[in-house]
Chains A and B, each alone.
Chain A
Amino acid sequence: MSWETVIGLEVHVQLATQSKIFSGASTQFGAEPNTQACAIDLAMPGTLPVFNEAALRMAVMFGLAVDAEIGMESVFDRKNYFYPDLPKGYQISQMDYPIVGRGSVEIALADRTTKTIGITRAHLEEDAGKSLHEDFHGFSGIDLNRAGTPLLEIVSEPEIRSAEEAVAYLKYLHALVRYLDISDGDMSQGSMRCDVNISLRQTGASEFGTRTEIKNVNSFRFVEKAIEVEVERQRDILEDGGIIVQETRLYDADKNETRPMRSKEVANDYRYFPEPDLLPIRIDEAYLTAIRDQLPELPKEKLQRFIEQYALGDYDARLLAAERETAAYFEQVVADCGDAKASANWVIGELSARLNREDLEIANSRVSAAQLARLLQRLADQTLSSKTAKTLFDVLWENGGQDVELVDQLIDEHGFKQVSDSGAIEAMVDTVIADNPQQVENYRSAPPEKRKKMLGFFVGQVMKASQGKANPGQVNQLLNEKL
């Protein structure tokens, strides 16, 4: 039987405001427990929430960037549940009138196709505190520094069909919030968190199957693996004629499995109602226009510009425009060396491979954009051959210094300079001819159409004698003359 996977993602993004969504306490990560939890965050009686304008602005920026309808009048609601890290006994969220309505993003897949994924909505809410379950003499410890940090919850349509698409979508959102500078998107610190809804249905069926929700998956890789194991689990059950229980599950990375969450909550019944402590938020066209005018160049706009300005192919342009930092690096290399095609090839090829291998962000590249540009200039002016250029890249990487002059310095130190001195090359050519009389004779007696292939032998010998540094063009020319 063949099954279709149906996935929807709920992504929580912590917005990079200075202060909390409803109080003036700091949102800085890593402070001592409860030093950034004020009376409002602690739900002290008599306190009232006041909404942070930056949280609104950032949510609207996101909405505009995904071509969404913006809620011109949006309303906060109370989502009621009890947990010690939620002091009020309710979370202020948005239910019926979210700030961001329907939108969409276009993701790129490995087979070089693209796919549009719908965004159902994105709403503002407050984060909860943290419960620490290490043993405090049979108690749990509560840190409320995170309580009240603004979150944007982005809900996708159930249009994702594989783990690959889920990860591509998630990476797109990650890059986008960083482009917009509304979040650092750091999954390891919880700035971006993901709940995955998964169900299966027989291929061709129109009804959705029963879904499970995997909570709080905290890396791209875990999202991929969690989906894979959950799909397999559901498929096994369905093929044995069983039924899927709608439930919340957790992904255990150590065991690479999902398992049901133990929860005492009777059922998810949050009894939403409008938050009486906050009035509706009303915005107007002038506000939207002002924000639209301040938006930075977005990934899809940059992609288009790269294709036009640098004559890059769609795929290369997409890779380079995907992350703001990568795009900036690439553009600096082009600006410094003037060759867009070579810059693109090296950033996508040599540099990306190296970054991947060492699991580094481009911001931490051990070869700077200015250095790569200088290297490409030296390749263009034939100081370097393509072979020595790659070796030099490795040497630069190991060295790690960011000074651009280091490039020429290392070329000298390591003797990477391509020999273009015709006298020196001529001497090597002469030696090779003298040392290989048999091959010379074979060459000379061969018909012209075969000679081209045979010339390769001599080129190889000269290059070997020069330790790869002779200018291949000159070697070819001299051999042709002398043979």
Chain B
Amino acid sequence: MSVDRSDIEQVAELARLRIEDNSVDELVSKITSILGMIDQMQATNTDDIEPLANPLEASQRLRADVVSEADQREALQANAPATEAGLFLVPKVID
């Protein structure tokens, strides 16, 4: 499996990464080589093997449904660039 320039540009866009034009070709070749390694892994026969969501042979511990966190807004907003009326302010977004 290989990728081309447009794949790289799309993934960068989805990840909100700015990539300089002149570095795209290099990324194409590096990622293609990583995918080559994955192709090799894909070739392994896994017919009788259950998918593994987590390498640890353990189950999730559960937490009792109890409110344990008090309001710490002041502390948590202390390092926010901008707040107003208890809200975090961010550059305007409209969907």
Residue ranges of A at the interface with B (Cβ–Cβ < 8 Å): 17-19, 23-26, 32-40, 42, 44, 50-56, 75, 80, 82-84, 96-97, 131-133, 136, 138-144, 261-263, 266, 269, 271, 274, 276, 278-282
**Cβ contacts B59-72/A at 8 Å (1 or 0 each):** 11111111111011
* Interface contact A142-B89, CB-CB below 8 Å: yes
Interface residues of B (CB under 8 A from A): 10, 13-14, 16, 51, 53-54, 56, 58-69, 71-73, 76-77, 82, 84-95
Given contacts A32-B73, A39-B69, A133-B94, 16 further A-B contacts (CB under 8 A): A19-B65, A19-B69, A26-B69, A33-B85, A35-B71, A39-B72, A53-B65, A83-B93, A133-B92, A136-B87, A138-B92, A139-B91, A140-B91, A140-B92, A141-B85, A269-B14
Cβ–Cβ contact B88 & A141, under 8 A: yes
Query: Are B95 and A136 touching (Cβ within 8 A)?
Result: no
Jot down 7 A-B pairs with beta carbons below 8 A, ordered by A: A19-B67, A24-B68, A37-B73, A84-B93, A140-B94, A266-B10, A280-B54
Q: List chain B residues, Cβ under 8 A from A38.
A: 69, 72, 76
How far is it, in angstroms, between the C-alpha of A82 and the C-alpha of B95 when the chains are bound?
12
For the complex, give the distance between the alpha carbons of A481 and B35 in Å: 104
Q: Give the distance in Å from the alpha carbon of A82 to the alpha carbon of B94 in the complex.
A: 13
CB distance B90 to A18 under 8 Å?
Answer: no
Q: A56 to B62, Cβ gap below 8 A?
A: yes
User: CA of A450 to CA of B13 in the docked complex: distance in angstroms?
Assistant: 91
Given A32-B86, A53-B63, are A263 and B92 neighbors across the interface (CB < 8 Å)? no
Residues of B within 8 A of A281 (CB): 59-60
Report the separation of the CA atoms of residues A26 and B73 in the bound assembly, to the nearest whole angstrom: 13
Residue pair A143, B62 in contact (C-beta under 8 Å): no
Contacts of B67 in A (CB 8 A): 18-19, 24-26
Is chain B's binding surface mostly helix, strand, loop or mixed?
loop
Partner of A139, one of B56, B62, B73, B92: B92
Cα–Cα distance between A398 and B65 once the two chains are bound (Å): 43
A51/B92 in contact, CB under 8 A: no
Give the nearest-CB partner of B79 in chain A: A44
Give the residue name and chain of the B residue nearest to A144 (CB).
B88
With A83-B93, A136-B84, A143-B86: A278-B69 Cβ-Cβ less than 8 Å:
no
A261 pairs with B95, CB closer than 8 A: yes
CA distance A274 to B55 in the complex (A): 11
- Residue in A51, A83, A136, A142 whose CB lies within 8 Å of B60: A51
Asked whether A36 lies within 8 Å of B71 as measured between CB atoms, the reply is yes
B62, B91, B94: the one contacting A52 at CB < 8 Å is: B62
Cβ contact within 8 Å between B87 and A23: no
Which 4 pairs show the lowest CB-CB distances between chains A and B?
A: A24-B68, A141-B87, A54-B65, A33-B86
Residue of A nearest to B60 (CB): A279
- Residues of the A chain whose Cβ atoms lie less than 8 Å from the Cβ of B68: 19, 24
A266 touches which of B13, B66, B77 (Cβ 8 Å): B13
State which of A18, A36, A269 has its C-beta within 8 Å of the C-beta of B65.
A18
Task: State A136–B90 Cα separation when bound (angstroms).
Answer: 9
| Most chain A Cβ neighbours within 10 Å, of B13, B69, B86 | B69
Inter-chain CA distance A422–B77, complex, in Å, is 83
Instruction: Determine if B84 and A17 form an interchain contact, defined as CB atoms under 8 angstroms apart.
Output: no
B-chain residues with CB within 8 Å of residue A40 when the two chains form the complex: 69
Question: Which residue on B lies nearest to A266, using beta carbons?
Answer: B13
Which residues of B lie under 8 Å from residue A139 when comparing CB positions?
82, 84, 89-92
Inter-chain CA distance A344–B31, complex, in Å, is 70
> Complex formed: what's the CA distance from A263 to B93 in Å?
10
